[in-house]
Amino acid sequence: MKKWTVLAAVIVAATVLVFQYSIVPTIAQEQGTTGQPSTTTPSPATKTDEPAAQKKAEKPAEITNQECIDCHNPDILKMSKEELADQVVVDDKAAPPRSKRPFVTGELNLSINDKKYAEGVHADTTCVTCHSDITEVPHKQRLKAVDCKECHDEAVEQIEASAHKDKPGPKALGCVGCHDVHYGKGKDDYAKGFSPKVCEDCHKAYNMDTLKAHTKLYEAKLHLAMDCMLCHSGKDPGVHNIPLVKTKVASCESCHTKNTILEKEKPVSAGFIACVTQTGFMNGSSLKKYGYVLGAHRIPMLDAILILVVLGTFGLPIVHGGLRILTRRKEPIHLPEEKILLHPLIERLWHWFQALCIVMLIFTGIMLHWPEKFPGWFNWSVTVHNWFGWGAVIAFVVWFLYNIITGRISHYIPKKWEIPGGMITQAKFYGYGIFKHEPHPYAPTEDNKFNPLQKIAYLKFQLLLFPLLLISGILYMYPETFKGVIAAIGGMYILGIIHLILGALFTAFLVAHLYLATTGETIGENFKAIIFGYGVKSDHEDHSKHV
């Protein structure tokens, strides 16, 4: 009996507990939802755990691109500021609109063309991948800037090590300044469409004067028409790797040389015979694409012929001079003591100034024509060649005006009886009489200081070839300024050939002139006269007896 009494008590107690913790809270909850006061307070554990369980069970769905494009469609561009503010979450008040900033390849706005986006490089990327601060739609009004480095870390590191590390001003954009991120293409497509205009447009957008930045570069406009990356190329290809300009751009010799970087393929070295017999321009593919480039485009056979012409003039001092040495007089030479003024001071100053210009033009011209033989000297040679070129122009103008105004141009004009008789007589003297120590057939006088052959030579070189050389040099010096004249001639490559031939002929003339100056009464007499102005008055037959 006692056992059954204890068992009954346990059952009653369990029933009370079940009733208290299950049925009563349910009633209390029902009363709470109907607004009736509830005397039962749920435990803290029950109140906290239930929302956590719901969050765990209900994972938020990812925001799709379509949800974004539903708002960011062309209609959004027609909305007022107030209507735009209604589309986003505004904390206090709508933020003022951003100022319009320059973009090179496109323009960022609130409207997205879903078709163009699907064709771009980011087609498989969701909007929230880049705009990671968007957690709900509508989102906050002002989003943080996208960090391209999160995906394109290698490209960003390249830029940070390049000349584009620093932005060109407070309004300049980062990657999106050049890349149309919503509709942009892949790297290969950018490379195909790249041109100097891309660089110029970008610099112009940020008020950078590309031409002004290249003023130290000779004929800047002509160079800027070429591919910027020809000079501004780093160890690795691509715009991202553009090196710092002051230290790592290509040198002038990179283009202006036999092994020019303008050629797609490195030229294969040919044998000597194959080289000198080449009748066409070397580096033909770059000539066709970029036009004539000094130092890079030469005709080897023409070079060989002109070298032989110049070397041939050395036959005069070697052969003719050698015979003079063998037949020289044994007894001393006695010159007349009376002197006459052959070269006034202004003529002597002009002569030596023009001689200096011609010598410097020849040396620098050789350095410019074969720059690979003089590495590191190209830029200096261009500057010096141009300065002495203008010096030669000034010298010629002074010589011409002086001789016309003073009437001393008559010294250069042959007399009627000097052609061809006087020329033949003087030629016989050079070819035969000089070895027999015969007197000069035409002794210089104050009124007629040159013999017939000298007159013909000076007229040909000083009044014909020298002006042509100077004119071709000026055209060569300023190809953009005189591009119309150059085109009428046949182009830069024709002008280059003309200038080269004239330069070689004048070099040959200089060698002959220096040697023939030794054929006076003594080897040094003519040199003394052009330095001090006075020459000897010869007693033998002179020009005046033929008048």
Residues of the chain with CATH 1.20.950.20: 316-546
Residue 340 is inside which H or E element, if any? strand 339-341
How confident is the model at residue 9, as a pLDDT? 55
Kindly give the confidence (pLDDT) of every residue in the chain, 547 residues in length, as a single tens digit, with 9 standing for 90 and above.
445 554 555 454 555 444 444 444 433 333 333 334 333 334 343 344 444 444 444 445 688 888 888 888 888 888 888 888 888 888 777 888 777 777 777 777 888 888 888 888 888 888 888 888 888 888 888 888 888 888 888 888 888 888 888 777 777 777 887 788 888 877 777 666 666 777 777 888 888 888 888 887 888 888 887 888 788 877 777 778 888 766 567 788 888 998 888 887 776 666 778 777 888 898 888 898 888 999 999 999 999 999 999 999 999 999 999 999 998 887 777 777 788 899 999 999 999 999 999 999 999 999 999 999 999 899 899 999 999 999 999 999 999 999 999 999 999 999 888 888 889 999 999 999 999 888 888 888 888 899 999 999 999 999 999 999 999 999 999 998 999 999 999 999 999 999 999 999 999 999 999 999 999 888 888 999 999 999 887 765 544 444 4
Q: What is the CATH number of domain 316-546?
A: 1.20.950.20
- DSSP SS3 for 237: coil
- DSSP SS3 for 55: helix
DSSP string, 260-319: -TTSSSPPPPPPHHHHHT--SPSSHHHHHHH---TTT---HHHHHHHHHHHHHHTHIIII
Q: Are 378 and 371 in contact (CB under 8 A)?
A: yes
Cα(156)–Cα(147) distance, integer angstroms = 10
- Phi and psi, residue 243, nearest 5°: -80, 170
Cα(173)–Cα(170) distance, integer angstroms = 8
How confident is the model at residue 359, as a pLDDT? 96
Q: CA 402 from chain center: how many Å?
A: 43
Residue 321, amino acid: G
For strand 339-341 and strand 534-536, is the pairing parallel, antiparallel, or unpaired?
antiparallel
Q: Are 386 and 477 in contact (CB under 8 A)?
A: yes
What is the torsional sign of CA 215, 217, 218, 221?
negative
Cα(411)–Cα(423) distance, integer angstroms = 15
Cα(317)–Cα(77) distance, integer angstroms = 87
